[in-house]
Amino acid sequence: MTNEDYRKEITMLIEDIAKMLNSDDIFEVCEMKHSARNRICNIAEYRISILREKDM
């Protein structure tokens, strides 16, 4: 993942949260919840990889 990918993941996470908060469709909210969870994991993994590189 590059810095650009990292920024895109953060932007898309914010979009997922906004969709969740504005939706009245339970299925869409569940879909956005799973999408947001995956994006958080991707962002965290990228951050962990950066920190590991600094430690080496």
- Specify whether the CB–CB gap between 47 and 20 falls below 8 A: no
Which residue's structure tokens are 């810095």? Answer: 3
Question: What count of other Cβ atoms lies within 10 Å of the Cβ of residue 39?
Answer: 20
User: According to the model, what pLDDT value does residue 49 have?
Assistant: 92
Q: Which two tokens stand for residue 27?
A: 């299925």
What is the model's pLDDT at position 3? Answer: 83
Encoded tokens for 17: 């949260």
Per-residue pLDDT of the chain (56 residues; tens, 9 = 90+): 788 988 999 999 999 999 999 999 999 999 999 999 999 999 999 999 999 998 87
